[in-house]
Amino acid sequence: MILLVSQALLDLGDGMWSGHCEGALQLLKARGPYNADDAFETQLVLLARGPIFLEGLFNEKIVVSPSDGQDYDPSVGPFLQCLNKMHDYMRRWCLVQSSSSYDDPTLLEEARDCYKQSMLAVEHWRKTMTVVDAKLAAGSTSKLVYASAAVSRFYTLLVSVTIILCDIVSAIDHDNSAIIRQTKSSLIVETVLLMEGVSRYAPMGATHVSFVLGACWMGAEDGPTACGIEDAAIEHRRSAHAAPEMKELFPKMALAARMFHERLQPRQPAPDSAKVLDYVDEQAAWA
C-alpha cells in the first residue's frame, strides 16, 4: 500500500503504472513464509497478493508460480486462487503458442473447469445479491445497507475477474470460444448497470469502481458497449467521491489491454487495436 501511495504522489509517468506491484512481489519473496495462524498477517498478505496477481496478467516482469497461491486456506482467498490459476494458464498457453513441438494435454480441461467453477460462483453470488436487495427494498436499515454494499462489491469484483478469465479460456478453448465470449458480453452489460447505483456507497463502498469498469472496458467486444462503459465512468467522475484513478482509467487500461492480448495471442495483433491507440492519444482529454 505504501508503494502504491508513493507511486501516485511521484507520478512516474506512462508505462510505470504497475511498478509498485513489482516492488511488492520482491517484498513478499524476501519476507518468506508467513504465519498462517496470525489473522492480521494473513490479511496483509492477501491484500498485497491481490494487486500482484492481477497486474501480473498484464506485466510480464511479475512472475508468479502455482505454488505462490497454495500456502493459505482457500476459503480466505477465492479470488487469489482464480487469479493464480489464470497466471498458470497464460504461462502454459504462451509455451504452446511459441513452439509447434510443445503440447500441454491437460491445459484445456483445466481451463474449462476453472471457467465452470467461476460461473457457478457468479450464479451463487447473483442469487445472494438478489435476496439481500429484496430485504433492503422491504425495509432499509443501516445493517442491510452495509450488507447490500458488501455483497454488491464482492459480486462485481468476482464478475470482473471472470470477465478476464473468459478472454483467457476463450483463447485456449477454440470449440467454445464464441459461447464464452457471448457470456462475457452479457456479464459486462449486467455489471455496468450495477455500477449506476454504486455512488451511494461512496467513498469507501465505491473504491472498486475503477477496477470493475476497467475490466469491463478491456473485455468489451464492440464500440457501443465500450461507449456505455465510458459513459458510466464519466458519470462516476461527476459524483462527489470519485476515485482519483478514474481520471486516467482508460489510457491505462488501453496499455494494459495491449500487453494482455500480446501475451495471450503472441502471433496475432491485439483485437480492436484502433480503440487502444485512440485512448492512448486521448489521454490528455482525461487529464
Q: Please give the C-alpha separations between residue 257 and each of 33, 46, 76, 182, in angstroms, as whole numbers.
A: 33, 25, 29, 19
Domain-located, residue 263: yes
Domain-located, residue 72: no
- Is residue 56 within 8 Å of residue 21, measured between CB atoms? yes
Distance CA(277)–CA(39), nearest Å, equals: 44
Length of the chain, in residues: 287
Tell whether 161 and 31 lie within a shared domain.
no
pLDDT of residue 209: 82
**Structural domain count, the chain:** 2
Domain-located, residue 121: yes
Tell whether 104 and 51 lie within a shared domain.
no
Lowest-confidence pick of 47-51, 55-59, 148-152: 47-51
Tell whether 22 and 99 lie within a shared domain.
no
Q: Is 14 left (phi over 0), alpha (psi -120 to 50) or beta?
A: beta
Tell whether 45 and 144 lie within a shared domain.
no
- Is residue 239 within 8 Å of residue 199, measured between CB atoms? yes
Element (H, E) at 216: helix 209-219
pLDDT digits (tens, 9 = 90+) for 213-261: 888 998 998 888 988 898 888 887 777 666 666 667 777 778 778 878 8
pLDDT of residue 73: 52
DSSP secondary structure letter of residue 269: P
Distance CA(160)–CA(219), nearest Å, equals: 9
Q: Which domain holds residue 209?
A: 77-286
Tell whether 259 and 193 lie within a shared domain.
yes
Tell whether 177 and 244 lie within a shared domain.
yes
- Is residue 121 within 8 Å of residue 158, measured between CB atoms? yes
DSSP secondary structure letter of residue 206: G
pLDDT digits (tens, 9 = 90+) for 107-144: 999 999 999 999 998 999 999 999 998 988 888 788 88
Domain-located, residue 122: yes
DSSP secondary structure letter of residue 70: S
Tell whether 112 and 203 lie within a shared domain.
yes
What value does the mean pLDDT take over residues 44-55? 65
Tell whether 123 and 248 lie within a shared domain.
yes
Sequential DSSP letters for 52-107: HHHHTTT-TT----GGGGSSS-GGG-HHHHHHHHHHHHHHHHHHHHH-TT---TTH
pLDDT digits (tens, 9 = 90+) for 181-200: 999 999 999 999 888 877 66
Tell whether 265 and 236 lie within a shared domain.
yes
Tell whether 257 and 222 lie within a shared domain.
yes
What percentage of the chain exceeds 70 in pLDDT?
59
Distance CA(194)–CA(209), nearest Å, equals: 10
Distance CA(57)–CA(59), nearest Å, equals: 6
Domain-located, residue 125: yes
Element (H, E) at 22: helix 19-31
Distance CA(55)–CA(63), nearest Å, equals: 10
Closest by CA position to 129, among listed 118, 144, 116 = 144
Closest by CA position to 84, among listed 135, 129, 25, 138 = 25
Tell whether 140 and 198 lie within a shared domain.
yes
**Is the peptide bond prior to 33 cis by the omega test (within 30 degrees of 0)?**
no
Domain-located, residue 60: yes
Q: What is the mean pLDDT of the chain?
A: 75
Tell whether 52 and 81 lie within a shared domain.
no
